Amino acid sequence: MDRIRIVGGNELKGIIPISGAKNAALPLMIASLLTSDTLTLENVPHLADVELLLRILGNHGVDVSVNGRREHQDGSYSRTIHFTCRTVADTTAPYELVSKMRASFWVIGPLLAREGKARVSLPGGCAIGTRPVDLFIEGLQALGAEMEIDGGYINATAPKGGLIGATYNFPKVSVGATHVMMMAASLARGTTVIGNAAREPEVVDLANCLNAMGAKISGAGTSTITIEGVSSLSGARHRVLPDRIETGTYAMAVAMTGGDVVLQGTDASLLDTALEAIRRAGAEVTETDGGIRVVGYGSEIRPVDIVTEPFPGFPTDLQAQFMGLMTRANGVSHVTETIFENRFMHVQELARLGARITLSGQTARIEGTSRLRGAPVMATDLRASVSLVIAGLAAEGETMVSRVYHLDRGFERLEEKLTRCGAIVERISD
């Protein structure tokens, strides 16, 4: 199993290209099930989750071809992937596939809308919380679907003639459920109004792609989304938006280690709240042509309190990284997690590096220290693992991060990008 070795103490200087967003790419790929034409996605990142979803979609009959691979001097590359589902080969998403990645559950929406039926395994729990599927079920039921849970599977059936437009207000904001209902409603008869919809940029990106395919969606990016159903969708070409979580992660790494880095190919408007928190911590963050410049000072980090919230609030996917930054602040800060009930597993690993963190319910109190020391640590989930990398970059000596397969799920060529900016980071394969 691979590990990542980090020798801390170096400032980061240079250019880091930002990849396409994993959280946008996955629902866009699933949208290919809605049409028999070809959906072409540009700027698709090379990640373990993307590769797994390619295999899952293949199980449903999606033909995939990859081109547009282009090597850059900076070591990154983008891919253009063509998805064609002439006919749906299988409307069942088995447990052995869904259990490996929760987002694969989202195929229930397109399968139900296009084929009138779907049998999808319940995804179960995961490392950062249970993430129940109640909202998915209730949203699809509002469109007329009959849902039955049997043997760990959801058997979904659309009414004769297809799904029917309806008004449905989510009792709780859910990005995944908003994705699913938006895809399903695109092929429903009549108009669907989704209330308390997720406002994340990835939702807007999916809506833009669906509209390019012929859907009629308005209001994406607000709490009310309206979808006028159409009889069929066509193919389209769409570019995956930049990864705001990767953007924020590298910005925090620069703020923590010091240095001067341009994050290339990203958009500050995707993460205004997080960038403002980084500024309050003492780093300089400015927009440039085609990116963001971050200048950090390492030893002059100020304490900042944050609370995770749905967009446009502080992203839960940047919580662990920001906590890593706050371990070096000159004072006490607080991080409150409101999205997931079990997203502090990185705390005990940060403590191995010398961090001083105490937990009280869903709030972490971080007493900053001027010195972190390298140590062996273990990644517990995707975002927690990269928080350990950030802390390791600022720690004295060597940090060895194990179970880095978590990192490969969401960060494209992380070691290469950091190394090109002066960090000492290497992957060790046992």
Residue 262, CA distances (Å) to 8, 20, 32, 87, 123 in order: 20, 17, 34, 45, 39
417 is in an annotated binding site: no
Q: Which two tokens stand for residue 69?
A: 């691979």
132 is in an annotated binding site: yes
Angle at 60 between CA 59 and CA 63, to 5 degrees: 85
117 is in an annotated binding site: no
- Alpha carbons 426 and 7: distance in angstroms, whole number: 9
Q: How would you class 87 by CB atoms within 10 Å of its CB: exposed for 0-12, middle for 13-18, buried for 19 or more?
A: exposed
Residue 126 a catalytic site member = yes
94 is in an annotated binding site: no
114 is in an annotated binding site: no
135 is in an annotated binding site: yes
Q: Which two tokens stand for residue 50?
A: 């993307």
- Alpha carbons 11 and 296: distance in angstroms, whole number: 9
Query: Are 74 and 420 spatial neighbours (Cβ–Cβ below 8 Å)?
Result: yes
**What angle do helix axes 244-257 and 319-326 make, rounded to 10 degrees?**
10
Query: Are 328 and 362 spatial neighbours (Cβ–Cβ below 8 Å)?
Result: no
173 is in an annotated binding site: yes
203 is in an annotated binding site: no
Angle at 137 between CA 147 and CA 58, to 5 degrees: 85
240 is in an annotated binding site: no
- Alpha carbons 169 and 329: distance in angstroms, whole number: 41
Catalytic residue among 85, 126, 209, 421: 126
Collapsed DSSP state (helix, strand, coil) of residue 80 = strand
Beta bridge partners of 129: 126
134 is in an annotated binding site: yes
- Alpha carbons 404 and 379: distance in angstroms, whole number: 6
Query: Are 321 and 390 spatial neighbours (Cβ–Cβ below 8 Å)?
Result: yes
44 is in an annotated binding site: no
Residue 303, CA distances (Å) to 86, 191, 276, 343, 390 in order: 55, 48, 13, 21, 17
- Alpha carbons 83 and 31: distance in angstroms, whole number: 9
| Binding-site entries for phosphoenolpyruvate | 22-23
Annotated catalytic residues are 126
| Binding-site entries for UDP-N-acetyl-alpha-D-glucosamine | 102, 131-135, 172-175, 317, 339
